[in-house]
Chain A
Amino acid sequence: MLIEEIMKKDVLTLSPTHTVQDALLIMRNERIRHLPILTDDDTLVGILSDRDLKGVVPSSFAEQNKAAAYETPLAEVMTKNPIVGHPMDFVEEAAVIFYDNKIGSLPIISNHKLVGIITETDLLYKYIELTGAHQPGSQIEIKVPNEPGILFEVSKVFYELKTNVLSILVYPDQENASNRILVIRINSMNPLHIINGLKDRGFDVLWPNFPGMNQ
């Protein structure tokens, strides 16, 4: 999946000469936490997060200092030369960038112009979607040997029993490196026939077991 498929294209921005007051207002009214800062010729020169502002306007500041703080130009508080992404970057790459750099948002640049933004929250939601956990469903876990063709064998059972799959994740088995755990979500409240079908064909289904008991 590419960044351009999930980025927010309609981006609110401010200029370096806008003030902290301006930024606070727009963040509050629009319920956003990140503002790209552009010069008059639309060049990205910085990014401002709500965390940057908290550093400038501490809540228990003396009144007159507070007034001065509100008038600070954004050029002085923004993060200059932020890390940027490209619309054709892979979402997986972007996730690594967020993680390695501990950033909250990534402005997306193409032809030297800002074309979008993605935030940590957008990215997290994408990953939740990948797990299928945003739709009602039952979860089935199957412990399989780590060998070629095994996914085919498992999916054959779903095909034969006409069960529609919402998502599949493959995890390493923490206890045994020669196994994999398949986590499959189906959008049915009744997983019994697929569980029985899997068991009948010899698969190890990790449907709730007594906590702490070995399978």
Chain B
Amino acid sequence: MSKMKDAVFIFSEDQLSYSFSDTHPFNQKRIVLTLDLLKKTGAIQNADIVTPRIATDEELLLAHDPAYIEIVKKAGRGELQENEGILYGIGTEDTPIFPNMHDASAYLVGGTLTAVDEVMEGRAKHALNLGGGLHHGFKGKASGFCVYNDSSVAIEYIRKKYGVRVLYIDTDAHHGDGVQWSFYDEPDICTFSIHETGRYLFPGTGAVTERGNGGGYGTSFNFPIDAFTEDESFLSIYKTAFKEVTEYFKPDVILTQNGADAHYFDPLTHLYGTMNLYREIPRFAKEMADQYCEGRWIAVGGGGYDIWRVVPRAWAHIWFAMKQLPTPIGPLPASWLSKWQEEAPVPFIPTWEDPTPLYEPIPRKAEITEKNAQMLERALHLIRNESKK
């Protein structure tokens, strides 16, 4: 038997075919930029990369309706009548039709399933599929740039095939609604989402009071934080809640969604995160997985709309954490900067760290922090009472 690897990186060119248009904010070029950055820092070798498979229809049916899958297939073949897909969210502003959209979407799901098998069959402790993380996809409807929900399919796949308890942790700036609703009644699956409040931001859900339903009551956790929340407050909520929920729920495996859109530069959200956030998030996830799940940790990508200055550095940190490499510091490889700068519409930040300060100090910081802390108290109230008994 070959020795278990610390980590594998799931990637193939097929994952890049998930592309709505050249002007659409969701752009998988992020993965190419990240992988190239990892190669040029010498953090990844070809032997670390595992080719993903495509998800079968049977697998997609674990979390999606047959009628919806048919619509996506027809859309990808150019056979949809005008407006036929609207009820299914296909052909809308957020999820327009593109050629072969079924295969492209099924490849992203297949990537997350490949990651799951690598970890659950003991070939690797951790696995990273940056092509996944499409957390807004619903059972029968595309939403928020997401067609199929790879995490929902993968979690149901883990539950059915391996019969274990899964903790889903979502640090994307938007609420992980698709995954939450998929398992809202499910006691053996715990969903956890920290996000900017839905006051203005899509999708509008993710209130503290969304705690699950029926037998699944108490296994859905939401941590809505205020617009303009900064690193410190975000991280303190993330770490406190992650640890307490893990101790309460006792998962066998952790799946993290790593949207990188809580950064100050992100055009779609209003959180004030910096690269410190993305350095800390995966390191803490690893710590939790090592401590409570014998290391079993699957990580997927997610949102992230400043694909040049933010996402490559942010996502590279996940790999550094998985491989137990020291946190990278100082300048980015000159060869990476020069290769991509011409294409980038903005000047790169040439170092792993963001410049300090990145932005003007915000007014009423203390009140935002206090409000977030109060939210945390309410969100964890039930399990804190439980553990006192």
Partner-contacting stretch, out of B58-66, B148-156, B359-367: B359-367
Asked whether A188 and B93 contact (CB < 8 A) given A210-B362, A211-B367, A212-B364, the answer is: yes
Is B364 in contact with A189, judged by CB distance below 8 angstroms? no
Q: Which parts of B349-389 form the interface with A (CB within 8 Å)?
A: 362-364, 367-368
**Which residue from chain A places its CB closest to the CB of B270 in the assembled complex?**
A208
Once the chains are docked, how many angstroms separate the CA of A191 from the CA of B269?
10
Is A136 in contact with B364, judged by CB distance below 8 angstroms? no
B284 within 8 A of A: no
Is B368 in contact with A190, judged by CB distance below 8 angstroms? no
Nearest chain A CB to B137 CB, angstrom units: 11
B208 within 8 A of A: no
A138 within 8 A of B: yes
B174 within 8 A of A: yes
Q: Which parts of A122-139 form the interface with B (CB within 8 Å)?
A: 133, 136-139
B 100-137 binary contact with A (CB < 8 Å = 1; else 0): 00000000000000000000000000000000000010
Could you say which residues of chain B place their CB within 8 Å of the CB of A213?
Answer: 363
Once the chains are docked, how many angstroms separate the CA of A163 from the CA of B94?
11
Could you say which residues of chain A place their CB within 8 Å of the CB of B368?
Answer: 211
Once the chains are docked, how many angstroms separate the CA of A188 from the CA of B92?
9
Could you say which residues of chain A place their CB within 8 Å of the CB of B200?
Answer: 138-141, 207-208
Nearest chain A CB to B138 CB, angstrom units: 8
Once the chains are docked, how many angstroms separate the CA of A77 from the CA of B264?
61
Could you say which residues of chain B place their CB within 8 Å of the CB of A141?
Answer: 200
B203 within 8 A of A: yes
Is A138 in contact with B202, judged by CB distance below 8 angstroms? yes
Nearest chain B CB to A117 CB, angstrom units: 24
A interface majority secondary structure: loop
Nearest chain B CB to A134 CB, angstrom units: 9
Is B204 in contact with A189, judged by CB distance below 8 angstroms? no
A155 within 8 A of B: no
Is A212 in contact with B363, judged by CB distance below 8 angstroms? yes
Option from A136, A192, A208 in Cβ contact (under 8 Å) with B227: A208
Nearest chain A CB to B84 CB, angstrom units: 16
Is B203 in contact with A136, judged by CB distance below 8 angstroms? yes
B78 within 8 A of A: no
User: How many of A's residues come within 8 Å of B, CB to CB?
Assistant: 23
Is B136 in contact with A189, judged by CB distance below 8 angstroms? yes
Could you say which residues of chain B place their CB within 8 Å of the CB of A192?
Answer: 267-268
A19 within 8 A of B: no
Is A190 in contact with B226, judged by CB distance below 8 angstroms? no
Nearest chain B CB to A137 CB, angstrom units: 6
Once the chains are docked, how many angstroms separate the CA of A171 from the CA of B227?
22
Once the chains are docked, how many angstroms separate the CA of A185 from the CA of B203?
10
Once the chains are docked, how many angstroms separate the CA of A210 from the CA of B205?
22
Is A136 in contact with B204, judged by CB distance below 8 angstroms? yes
Could you say which residues of chain A place their CB within 8 Å of the CB of B203?
Answer: 136-137, 189
Asked whether A210 and B363 contact (CB < 8 A) given A136-B202, A190-B268, the answer is: yes
B258 within 8 A of A: no
A79 within 8 A of B: no
**Which residue from chain A places its CB closest to the CB of B305 in the assembled complex?**
A190
Could you say which residues of chain A place their CB within 8 Å of the CB of B94?
Answer: 187-190
**Which residue from chain B places its CB closest to the CB of A138 in the assembled complex?**
B202
B228 within 8 A of A: yes
Which 4 pairs show the lowest CB-CB distances between chains A and B?
A136-B203, A208-B227, A189-B144, A189-B202
- 13 A-B pairs besides A139-B198, A189-B145 with CB distance below 8 A are A133-B204, A136-B143, A136-B202, A138-B202, A139-B200, A188-B202, A189-B94, A189-B202, A207-B270, A210-B228, A210-B363, A211-B226, A211-B363
Q: A-contacting residues of B (Cβ < 8 Å)?
A: 25, 92-94, 136, 143-145, 174, 177, 198-205, 226-228, 267-268, 270, 362-364, 367-368
Name 27 A/B residue pairs within 8 A (Cβ), A-sorted.
A136-B136, A136-B143, A136-B177, A136-B202, A136-B204, A136-B205, A137-B202, A137-B204, A140-B200, A164-B92, A188-B93, A189-B94, A189-B136, A189-B202, A190-B268, A191-B202, A207-B270, A208-B270, A210-B363, A210-B364, A211-B226, A211-B227, A211-B228, A212-B363, A212-B364, A212-B367, A213-B363
